[in-house]
Amino acid sequence: MSNETDFAAGTERTSAVVDELAYLPATEALRRFRDRTLSPVELMTAVIERAEAVEPSVNCLAERIYDEAMAGARAAEARYAGKGDAPRPLEGLAVATKEEQPIAGRISSEGSVAFAAEIAEVTHPVVERVLAAGGIVHARTTTPEFSCAAFTRSELWGITRNPWNLAFSPGGSSGGAGAALAAGSTTLATGSDIGGSIRIPASFTGTVGFKPPYGRVPAMPPFNLDTYCHDGPMARTVADCALLQNVLAGPHPLDGVALSPKLVLPTAPEGIEGLRVALSITLGDWLIDPEVEANTRAVADALRAAGAIVEEVPVAITRRDVMDTAMIHFGAIFGSWVRGVAEEYGDQLNAYTLQFAEDTVAAAERGGLLAGLEREAAIQAELGQLLDRYDVLLCPTAGIPAFLADDDYTSTKVTINGVELEHYLEASLTTVFNIASRCPVLSVPSGRASSGVPTGVQIVGRFYDDEMVFRVAAALERVRPWDYVGAGIPAL
Identify which of 256, 244, 221, 179 has the alpha carbon closest to the alpha carbon of residue 442.
244
- For β-strands 230-235 and 61-64, DSSP reports them as unpaired
Do the beta carbons of residue 179 and residue 152 sit within 8 Å?
A: yes
Catalytic residue among 39, 98, 192, 437: 98
Please list, in sequence order, all residues whose beta carbon lies within 8 angstroms of the beta carbon of residue 488, skipping any fewer than 6 positions away: 482
Do the beta carbons of residue 202 and residue 181 sit within 8 Å?
A: no
Give the C-alpha separation, 76 to 61, whole Å.
23
Give the C-alpha separation, 172 to 343, whole Å.
24
For residue 168, list its beta bridge partners: 404
* CA quadruple 287, 291, 292, 296: dihedral sign: positive
For residue 24, list its beta bridge partners: none
Catalytic residue among 197, 203, 428, 446: 197
**First-to-final CA distance of the chain:** 22
Catalytic residue among 39, 173, 174, 428: 173
| Three-class DSSP category at 443 | strand
Examine the residue annotation and report whether 197 is marked as an active-site residue of this protein.
Answer: yes
Ordered alpha helix ranges (H), 190-278: 199-205, 238-248
Give the C-alpha separation, 410 to 349, whole Å.
14
Give the C-alpha separation, 90 to 26, whole Å.
8
Examine the residue annotation and report whether 428 is marked as an active-site residue of this protein.
Answer: no
Do the beta carbons of residue 140 and residue 61 sit within 8 Å?
A: yes
Give the C-alpha separation, 145 to 168, whole Å.
18
For the annotated catalytic residues, the residue numbers are: 98, 173, 197
